[in-house]
Amino acid sequence: MSRNPTSDTDYERTGDLRVVVAGGGELGLRTAELLHDRGHNVTLVETDAERAAELSDEYVATVIEGDASRPSVLRQARLDRADVVAALTDDEATNFAVCMAAQRLADVRTVMRTTTTPDDLYAEFVDGVVFPERSGARTAANEITGVGVRTVEEVFGDVEVLEVEIAEGAPVAGKRLDEVRLPRGSIIVVDYQGNRIGGPETVLEPGARYVVAVESDVVDEVLNLLRG
Amino acid sequence: MSQPGERAPAASLGLLDATMVGIGAMIGAGIFVLTGLATELAGPAAIVAFALNGGVTTFTALSYAELAAAIPRNGGGYAYVREVFSAPVAFVMGWTRWFTYMIAGALYALGFSSNFVEFVHLYGVTLPGPPVAYALLAVVVLVALNALSTEASGGAETAITLVKIAILGLFVVLGLPVARGAEFDPLFPNGALAVLPAMGLTFIAFQGYDLIATVTEEVENPTVNIPRAILLSVVVTVVVYLFVVFVAIGTLGPERLAAAGETAVAQAAEGFMPSLPVLGTGAAIIAFGAVFSTISALNAVVIGSSRVAFAMGRERQLPAVLGRLHHRYGTPFVGVLASAAVMLVAVLVVPIGTVGKLASLFSLLGFTIVNVAVFRLRRQQPDLRRPFQVPFYPVTPALGIVCNLLLGLFIDAETWALAVGWLVLGGVVYLLLARSGRTDEGRPEPTAAAEATVADPEPIDLDADVDEETA
């Protein structure tokens, strides 16, 4: 299993990822939903039995009931075939332990959630760090200061605004927009130079990036078309 | 606004719709085409064959229900086996399921054509050309529809399936009073063991509920409704079959039914159904039902086969091009066309009895693997949330394995030879894909190699890091 991508540079792939998310809280569930909508395969690990039942009713991921920081539980999430492990519980020490155990069990990319300002040395140990409180604070600041400035990352209800790079060999690569029929609920907003609104004559150049607004239930279909 | 999307997304399915997906795929050619052929093999005990098949199917349906409720993935049995087993086993499952749907498509197309010719003949029109021409035409039309539009599936299926059930219901209600129990004596004119080959032949009539597992993501409240829909569709179908077979044998008698072959049920209806205004004679109604059922079942397996090919392409277990949507039609275009090519060949070269047995054999093998998957998943992931659990575990899936294998053994050697041939071809495809580094647990090298296809082969890299499971 030497070919798992481990650094950000070779972490460019099309197709579906197998992702293990430790922690089925609000963040874990929302993350699983987004990944599932994009066509990836997600396994959620959650300790609380009642919460685990709620998670499986959401039907976006297979759910393992148990404590992800226990290696015997983590192994049940089939790390040997996973691409990424994301430790998203609300306990920073647990998340760090999960990432360390995961790397020891298999060759996977790791992403951990911190609850305080990330330690400078985390980058030495894990492949990615997320700090939801900081992103949340940014959103709150945007909201407080009024409209005007909004980040693309923000999500409006069911619509996701994505910046997508057209993959070489994707179904739509090199096609003009009027040759392509995207599913209802999706729209190409900005063309790759970022200075024109997408129109019928826009050509989807492979390797170029486009801003796309997509309703969550057709995200996987749109990504299949744009990414292959 | 510029260029907003215009294609409609997939519909969402309630319990009734999901159940009808299963029933619609099961009540297709099987009951109309194979009732006569099964009676030829086993005499009146054909009804026993149908009943036992119903039991065998229920074991596997329970396993499907457990897996489908726990693993939220479209792609049916293939997707679950992919989660549980190593890459080669998953490939065998996908490869055989794909073939089963295609070969079932051939069976439905042939059943459609013979019943269609019969149906038109009842109105005094004799169609030119051999019936097989109409089978080919049916495949081509449905494939074109499914290649060019995603809207051929969906809510219409429910209405169509209800019409099918209504036609068979009419047949049963009118036939039951005149059916003679004496026709069932002796029950086993060819010996009790003759039931087994008849079961092998008719098993295909019980496959199709697994199509519910290919549309799980569209089902409302899935963890509850999917297991229910799978079990309900099997139960309803078995009940309908038993009544229809009872009436067919009880009214026409086993000898004449056997002689009538593929249009047996229509001929039975001719005997007792009154001529109704507008609808026409009994035979015409049943022939219409058969034409209607075979065409909708054919549609279901065209969709089913392309979904399996699509899922395998996504996992890079088949050339990646099968896992891409068409840039204009939004359909798994290449997947549909590849499936169609095999279906057309099967329609042309394989006789109908062999087509039925081949489809049954592959179903039996695939269903065996699904039952094993339940065992393996329980051991590998004991803490997995299973919203639906197989009752009487481990007895039920064990019975499923034993029954499926036993039935498989009673299918003749010629069919096995064809089956082995298809598996060997699969092995070659698998090794070619593995050689070029695209079958490594579904994880391709993140290079242009992943984008190559069989049609555009890259130089084979002998030093390729082949997955240890394939080496």
Cβ distance of B385 and A55 shorter than 8 Å: yes
Per-residue CA distances from B459 to B160, B181, B373, B464 (Å): 50, 68, 36, 11
Mutate: best of A62, A78, A177, partner B, most B CBs <10 A: A62
What amino acid is encoded at B350 in this protein? Answer: V
Neighbours of B221 (CB within 10 A): 12
Residue range B327-339: mean pLDDT, rounded: 81
pLDDT at B242: 95
Please indicate whether, in this complex, the C-beta atoms of A197 and B2 are within 8 angstroms of each other: yes
Contact B300, B77 (CB under 8 A): no
Q: Residue A142: helix, strand or coil by DSSP?
A: helix
> Does residue B459 surpass a pLDDT of 80?
no
A83 contacts B3? CB cut-off 8 A? no
pLDDT above 90 (res B239): yes
CB-CB neighbors (< 8 A) of B449 in chain A: none
> Residues B409-425: what's their mean pLDDT?
88
- Give the integer Cα–Cα distance in Å for B108 and B411: 20
Neighbouring C-beta atoms of residue B192, cutoff 10 Å = 11
Q: How far apart are CA B385 and CA B405, in angstroms?
A: 29
**Range B270-297 average pLDDT:** 79
Q: Answer yes or no: are the C-beta atoms of A131 and A111 closer than 8 Å.
A: no
Contact B385 A76 (CB under 8 A): no
Q: A8-19, pLDDT tens digit by residue?
A: 333 344 567 899
Say how far apart CA B449 and CA B437 lie, in whole Å: 8
> Checking phi first, is residue A167 left (phi over 0); if not, alpha (psi -120 to 50) or beta?
beta
Q: How far is B461 from chain A, CA to nearest CA, in Å?
A: 15
Beta-carbon separation of A202 and B3 below 8 A: yes
Query: What is the rounded distance in angstroms from the CA atom of residue A68 to the CA atom of residue A85?
Result: 11
Residues A17 and A84 sit within 8 Å (Cβ to Cβ): yes
Mutant choice from A2, A8, A41 vs B, greatest count of B C-beta within 10 A? A41
Mean pLDDT of B246-274: 85
Whole-angstrom Cα distance, residue B410 to residue B358?
A: 12
pLDDT classification of A124: cutoffs 50, 70, 90: confident
- A207 at B interface, C-beta within 8 A: no
Q: Which residues of A touch B311 (CB under 8 A)?
A: none
Chain B partners within 8 Å of A40 (Cβ): none
CA B53 – CA B45 distance, rounded (Å): 12
Residue B33 has phi, psi (to 5 degrees) of -85, -35
**Using CA atoms, how far apart are residues B36 and B48, in angstroms rounded to an integer?**
14
pLDDT tens, residue by residue, A76-123? 998 888 999 999 999 999 999 999 999 999 999 999 999 888 888 888
Top residue of B225, B310, B443, B466 to mutate, by most chain A CBs within 10 Å, is B443
Given a cut of 80, whether residue A213 has pLDDT beyond it is: yes
Contact B222 A59 (CB under 8 A): yes
C-alpha distance from B208 to closest chain A C-alpha (Å): 23
CB contact under 8 A, A183 and B9: yes
DSSP-based three-state secondary structure for A136: helix
What residues of chain A lie within 8 A of the CB of B335, using their CB?
none
Minimal Cβ distance to B72: which of A16, A61, A198: A61
The CATH classification of domain A18-139, taken from the options 3.30.70.1060, 3.40.50.1000, 3.40.50.720, 1.10.30.50:
3.40.50.720
Question: Residue B12: which pLDDT band, with cuts at 50, 70 and 90?
Answer: confident
Give contacts of A66 with chain B, Cβ < 8 Å: 383
CA of B390 vs chain A CAs: smallest distance (Å): 17
* Dihedral of alpha carbons B340, B373, B80, B69, sign: positive
User: Looking at CA atoms only, how far is residue B384 from chain A in angstroms?
Assistant: 4
pLDDT, mean over chain B: 81
Across the interface, do A78 and B2 touch by the CB < 8 Å criterion?
Answer: no
pLDDT in tens, B343-391: 888 888 877 777 777 888 888 888 999 999 999 999 989 999 999 999 9
Asked if residues B370 and B77 have their Cβ atoms less than 8 Å apart, the reply is yes
CB atoms within 10 A of CB B102: 29
pLDDT above 70: residue B328: yes
Nearest CA of chain B to the CA of A50: how many Å? 11
Per the CB < 8 Å rule, is B327 touching A225?
yes
This model of the complex carries an ipTM of 0.75
Q: Which residue has the higher pLDDT, A25 or B301?
A: A25
Amino acid at residue number A75: R
What per-residue confidence (pLDDT) applies to B279? 66
- Tell me the residues of chain A between 67 and 86 that have a Cβ less than 8 Å away from chain B: 73, 76-78, 81, 83
Q: How far apart are CA B213 and CA B300, in angstroms?
A: 13
Sheet architecture: strand order including A128-130:
A62-65, A41-46, A18-22, A84-87, A109-113, A128-130
Q: Going by DSSP bridges, is the β-strand pair A84-87/A18-22 parallel, antiparallel, or unpaired? A: parallel
Q: Do B7 and A168 touch (CB under 8 A)?
A: no
Q: How far apart are CA B371 and CA B56, in angstroms?
A: 12
Of B193 and A55, more confident: A55
B330 neighbourhood in chain A, CB within 8 Å: 181, 183, 221, 225
User: Cα torsion for B236, B239, B241, B243, to the nearest 10°?
Assistant: -140
For domain B15-420, give the fold.
Amino acid/polyamine transporter I (1.20.1740)
Superfamily of domain A159-227: Regulator of K+ conductance, C-terminal domain (3.30.70.1450)
pLDDT for residue B25 is more than 80:
yes
Mean pLDDT of B120-124: 77
B328 vs A181: CB contact, 8 Å cut-off?
yes
Q: Hey, how many other C-beta atoms are within 10 angstroms of the C-beta on B99?
A: 24
Report yes or no: A2 and B465 within 8 Å, Cβ to Cβ: yes
Q: Is A171 within 8 Å of B83 when comparing Cβ atoms?
A: no
Query: With 70 as the cut, is the pLDDT of residue B448 above it?
Result: no
Distance between CA atoms of A220 and A226, rounded to whole angstroms? Answer: 10
Residue B147 has pLDDT above 70, yes or no: yes
Cβ–Cβ under 8 Å, residues A193 and A134? no
Chain B residues close to A2, C-beta within 8 Å: 465
| Nearest residue on chain B to A177, alpha-carbon basis | B3
Length of chain B: 471
Q: Which two tokens stand for residue A179?
A: 């040759």
User: Which H, E and C letters describe chain B, residue by residue?
Assistant: CCCCCCECCCCCECHHHHHHHHHHHHCCHHHHHHHHHHHHHHHHHHHHHHHHHHHHHHHHHHHHHHHHHHCCCCCHHHHHHHHHCCHHHHHHHHHHHHHHHHHHHHHHHHHHHHHHHHHHHHCCCCCCCCHHHHHHHHHHHHHHHHHHCCCCCCCHHHHHHHHHHHHHHHHHHHHHHHCCHHHHCCCCCCCHHHHHHHHHHHHHHHCCHHHHHHCHHHECCHHHHHHHHHHHHHHHHHHHHHHHHHHHHHHHCHHHHHHHHHHHHHHHHHHHCCCECCCECHHHHHHHHHHHHHHHHHHHHHHHHHHHHHHHHHCCCCCHHHHCCCCCCCCCHHHHHHHHHHHHHHHHHCCHHHHHHHHHHHHHHHHHHHHHHHHHHHHHCCCECCCCCCCCCCHHHHHHHHHHHHHHHCCCHHHHHHHHHHHHHHHHHHHHHHHCCCCCCCCCCCCHHHHCECCECCCCCCCCCCCCCCC
Q: Considering only the C-alpha atoms of chain A, give the largest distance between any 2 of them, rounded to a whole number of Å.
A: 55
- On chain A, the residues whose CB falls within 8 A of the CB of B69 are 56
pLDDT of A150 above 70: no
Contact A52 B385 (CB under 8 A): yes
**Touching check for A55 and chain B: CB below 8 Å?**
yes
State the pLDDT at residue A153. Answer: 54
Name the A residues in 2-31 with CB < 8 Å from any B CB.
2-5, 10-16, 18
Task: Tell me which chain B residue has its CA closest to the CA of residue A62.
Answer: B71
| Residue among B442, B452, B459, B454 at smallest CA distance from B83 | B442
Q: Each residue of A173-198: pLDDT tens digit?
A: 888 888 888 888 888 777 766 667 77
pLDDT at residue B278, as a whole number: 64
Domain boundaries, chain A: 18-139, 159-227
Which regions of chain A does DSSP assign to beta strands (E)? 18-22, 41-46, 62-65, 84-87, 109-113, 128-130, 159-165, 186-190, 209-215
3-state helix, strand, coil in chain A (%, to 5): 35, 20, 45
φ and ψ of A130, to 5 deg = -120, 145
Quote the tokens at residue B299: 């549609």
Residue B58 has pLDDT above 60, yes or no: yes
- Rama region for B448: left / alpha / beta (φ>0; ψ in -120 to 50; rest): alpha
**A216 touches B at CB < 8 Å:** no
Contacts of A60 in chain B (CB under 8 A): 72
For residue B126, the tally of other CB atoms under 10 A from its CB is: 7
Report CB contact under 8 Å: B217, A185.
Answer: no
Nearest CA in chain B to A12: B446
Which of 100-119 (A) contact B at CB < 8 A? Answer: none
Write down the domain spans for chain B: 15-420
Mean of the pLDDT values across residues B277-294? Answer: 78
The yes-or-no verdict on residue B458 having pLDDT over 50 is no
Q: For residue A65, what pLDDT is reported? A: 94
Which whole number is the average pLDDT over B225-248?
A: 94
**Average pLDDT taken over every residue of chain A:** 82
Higher pLDDT, B384 or B133: B384
